[in-house]
Amino acid sequence: MRPTTSLVSLQQLAIFLGVSGTILAILQYGPQIYKTYHAGLVGALSLGTMAIQVPGSVLFVISIAIRPGTNWTSWIPYAVTGAMQGALLVCLLSHDCTVLTTR
């Protein structure tokens, strides 16, 4: 069965939105990761919040990825966001460990 024009257009829109969401996630988290890593300042970031968000992101991505009928554009923005939250969590943990060992 050949897909209709509207189905192809909808798939193209889904790809565009998935890639756009991924790029926006990188633009959102990239500067925060850079600043946190290089300055060694955690600012208002909460270790507890990040420790809950990162595993939650993993579970959310898995729940979307295993659904029938979904493609990579459905879950990749959430996977990238979760990975970047994980990078921030590593920065937070390394900074907190450094602060504790220097006291």
**For 9-55, how does the pLDDT look when each residue is reduced to its tens digit (9 = 90+)?**
888 998 999 999 999 999 999 998 888 888 877 777 788 888 999 99
Amino acid identity, position 92: L
Q: What is the CATH number of the domain that holds 25?
A: 1.20.1280.290
Q: Could you tell me how far CA 21 lies from the centroid of its own chain?
A: 10
Cα 67 to Cα 45: distance, rounded to the nearest angstrom: 33
**Average pLDDT value over all residues in the chain:** 86
Give me the number of domains the chain comprises. Answer: 1
Contact 11, 17 (CB under 8 A): no
* Mean pLDDT confidence for 69-80: 91
Give the domain extent around 64.
Answer: 5-102
